[in-house]
Homo-oligomer: A and B are copies of this chain.
Amino acid sequence: MARGSELGTAVSGPSRVAAADEAVSLEELQLAARNHGLPLETLRYDVTPTGLHYLLTHYDIPAIDQPSWRLTVGGHTERTLTLDLATLRSMPRRTVRVTLECAGNGRARLLPRPVSQPWLVEAVGTADWTGTPLAEVLDQAGIRGGAVDVAFTGADHGIERGVEQDYARGLSLAEVLGPDVLLVDEMNGRPLPPQHGAPLRLLVPGWYGMTQVKWLRQITVLDHAFDGYQNATAYRLIRGVEEAGEPVTRIEPRALMLPPGFPDFMSRVRVVDAGRHQLQGRAWSGWAPIAGVEVSTDSGLSWQPAELGPAAGRWSWRGWTFAWDATTPGERELCCRAIDESGRAQPIDQPWNRQGMANNMIQRVRVVVR
């Protein structure tokens, strides 16, 4: 790992926060052009059509030769497994509908703005993921006594804040043994696309996207806590520079609405005709089922309950609707917010942290009624 830091900060600088008057840079724009969010009108689909699901790639989408690809499972285990895709596919399989969200969602709306992938609010998507329960594979390898964490390593290689690395994340043994934690090779009933981790990715429902390791090539059971870069440095809730901070884990509750009416190309301001409009949207939380959604049609001054649609499985977003009587012409700001059964809710004030993680500040949609 040492070699990366010798390249200098022009190649790989430390994390930083934009100055008060500093607009989005071409560096941030490079990330925004590669990665992409869910166009908000496509919240209309229960399952996000492939290609519209949000996508965040830390380094490059790697070139993987599928016939020669193997998954290694070892470390603090009875035996080391080397599995090809056919063997994995011959094991028991499950399909789970899961909403995934990037931990950095909403980052670009924070003030001051953490400089990284500049998401506004759209880094989310829902898919039907199919694969083998991780517990089956770990059971075949045989977890030895004293196991603590499990590390997942991808084939994507890069440098980040001076640290050269293959992308890797660790999780506690207790977290990875759940029945819905899968090694996934199908998305929406089709082979996993390259950009979503083909041939194999990890799926840990309820956790932010950094956990869902793509292009998985190695699983290592550890008898100690995993201390790799992506756990120890990158995905932390930090306010001060020197602070270690708490780790980013599960998805905070969020509601999003389909922007009503039609947009202006450039400003994305929405235009609706005066009258009754059925607002609709989705809400989700990685902590607990959604308990309620509220809508404000006056910039957050007052709130009214939305009607929840049918529950759609523990890990999928839930639909909601709200009848809005847009009587008076003029500009409005529509907002929505979710609360889950654990009591977690969305803040109106920004939950600022240095890396812009787990920011679930409420959505605001500018609408002109005519």
Compute how far the CA of A264 lies from the CA of B41 in the bound complex, rounded to whole angstroms: 33
Is A368's beta carbon under 8 Å from chain B? yes
Compute how far the CA of A60 lies from the CA of B43 in the bound complex, rounded to whole angstroms: 12
Q: Which residues from B are CB-within-8-Å of A50?
A: 50-51, 193
Q: Which residues from B are CB-within-8-Å of A267?
A: 10-13, 27
Q: Which residues from B are CB-within-8-Å of A55?
A: 36, 51
Q: Given that A59-B263, A60-B41, A267-B12 are contacting pairs, would A24 and B29 also be in contact in the complex, using a CB cutoff of 8 Å?
A: yes
List the one stretch of A66-74, A114-122, A174-182, A204-212 in contact with chain B. Answer: A114-122
Contacting pair A7 B370 (CB below 8 A): yes
Q: Which residues from B are CB-within-8-Å of A34?
A: 36-37, 39-40, 122
Is A268's beta carbon under 8 Å from chain B? yes
Q: Which residues from B are CB-within-8-Å of A41?
A: 60-61, 63
| Copies of this chain, tallied across the complex | 2
Is A108's beta carbon under 8 Å from chain B? yes
Contacting pair A195 B23 (CB below 8 A): no
Q: Which residues from B are CB-within-8-Å of A52?
A: 51, 61, 193-195
Interface residues of A in 28-42 (CB under 8 A from B): 28-37, 39-42
Contacting pair A61 B42 (CB below 8 A): yes
Q: Which residues from B are CB-within-8-Å of A195?
A: 39, 42, 49, 51-52
Contacting pair B24 A24 (CB below 8 A): yes
Per-residue interface assignment for chain A, residues 136 to 177, with 1 indicating a CB less than 8 Å from any chain B CB and 0 otherwise: 000000000000000000000111110010000000000000
Q: Which residues from B are CB-within-8-Å of A196?
A: 51
Contacting pair A3 B39 (CB below 8 A): no
Q: Which residues from B are CB-within-8-Å of A159?
A: 262-265, 271
Q: Which residues from B are CB-within-8-Å of A49?
A: 193-195
Q: Nearest Cβ in chain B — how far from A145, in angstroms? A: 37
Closest chain B residue, CB of each to CB of A50: B51
Per-residue interface assignment for chain A, residues 333 to 370, with 1 indicating a CB less than 8 Å from any chain B CB and 0 otherwise: 00000000000000000000000000000000000101
Identify which of B3, B32, B115, B331 contacts A266 (C-beta below 8 A): B115
A29-B29, A44-B63 known, 11 other contacts, Cβ within 8 Å: A6-B370, A7-B271, A10-B267, A22-B23, A23-B24, A27-B266, A29-B108, A33-B37, A36-B36, A39-B61, A49-B193
Interface residues of chain A, those whose CB is within 8 Å of chain B, are 3-4, 6-7, 10-13, 22-37, 39-42, 44-45, 49-53, 55, 57-61, 63, 108-109, 115-116, 118-120, 122, 157-161, 164, 193-196, 259, 262-269, 271, 331, 368, 370
17 A-B pairs with CB atoms under 8 Å apart are A6-B370, A11-B269, A12-B264, A12-B269, A30-B120, A33-B119, A34-B39, A42-B194, A49-B193, A49-B194, A49-B195, A51-B55, A52-B61, A60-B259, A60-B262, A116-B266, A158-B265
